[in-house]
Amino acid sequence: MRLYHGSNVAVKEPEIIISNRMLDFGAGFYTTSSENQAIRWSKNQTLRRKSGAPAVSIYELDEEKLQELSVLRFDAPDADWLNFVTANRKGIYKGKKYDIVIGPVANDNTMPVINDYMMGNIDEETALILLKPQKLSNQYVFLTKKGLSVLRYLEANHHE
């Protein structure tokens, strides 16, 4: 399976990135199976960092080796996903350490709902009702070096 990483530079050797921002699935190397999503990420990263040029790095995921890893998969933005994302975005997740987490991306459309839920303005049931119609891209997040070992860099494409 091909995965894509959008950034302001080509990334030949992925690393676990510890960001100053709290992210959906915690500190890790974020990819997606959607090339269009990665292109958007590359443009956003270039604007945010004010350097480099939009680049999408392409990797091959060795799916057979996934069975050797600790993988958490969310198939939809359900209650488990919502609470996992909320705990990571609040920086309070203390559960199991996974090698890879796969699931929907909290995007600009979902973040108001997630923020309202995190602040206690809406309950879980309301949040899930509001999230249900969302068409969300996926993300494959590599949280350990062992997780990264199943990725093989192929090439990078630059986008303007």
Question: In terms of pLDDT, which residue wins out, 154 or 37?
Answer: 154
**Structural contact between residues 8 and 52, judged by C-beta atoms closer than 8 angstroms:** yes
Please state, rounded to an integer, the average pLDDT across all residues of the chain.
Answer: 92
Please give the pLDDT value at position 92: 92
Question: In terms of pLDDT, which residue wins out, 20 or 86?
Answer: 86
Separation of alpha carbons 77 and 84, rounded Å: 10
Q: How far is CA 36 from the centre of its chain?
A: 14
Q: pTM of the entire structure? A: 0.91
User: How large is the average pLDDT for residues 101-117?
Assistant: 88
User: 159 pLDDT band (50/70/90 cuts)?
Assistant: confident
Give the Cβ contact number of residue 15 at 10 Å: 11
User: 35 pLDDT band (50/70/90 cuts)?
Assistant: very high
Query: Over pLDDT 70: what percentage of the chain?
Result: 100
pLDDT digits (tens, 9 = 90+) for 62-87: 999 999 999 999 998 999 999 999 99
